[in-house]
Amino acid sequence: MKDLNSLELAFIGDSIHTCFVRNWAVQNINKPINELHLLCARLCSASWQAKILNILELNDIEKEIARRARNAKPKHHAKNADAVDYKKATAFEAVIGYLYVTNQTERLNYILNHSLTLEVNNAN
């Protein structure tokens, strides 16, 4: 496998995070699909991912992955987020992508579940 750059890791991480959130919603939330879509869109938004990144305790390697991704120069910008949140979301997604491609399943699941714990706590 080739070494992936920060934006490639974020590209993979975005899909992993989205799939995880959608699976969780379908398995745990008994609402019509349009309401599930709205919930998942919020939980996969740049602003939400930025919040998650702010509270995560990353190890040194994850911090470096996040730093590189935050400083990467994407070809496009978010349509529904400010630049700071967009960069943090890219960093969050890159960490997810890194954990996925390096098969760090336990750590990946911890972070993904932790992001949902935050949602459950906010809902109460």
Known catalytic residues?
A: 14
Contact 88, 70 (CB under 8 A): yes
Task: Give me the residue label for tokens 């305790």.
Answer: 57
Six-digit token pair at 22?
A: 């959608």
Give the phi and the psi of residue 77 in degrees, each rounded to 5: -125, 160
Q: Among 93, 74, 85, 76, which Cα is nearest to 19's?
A: 93
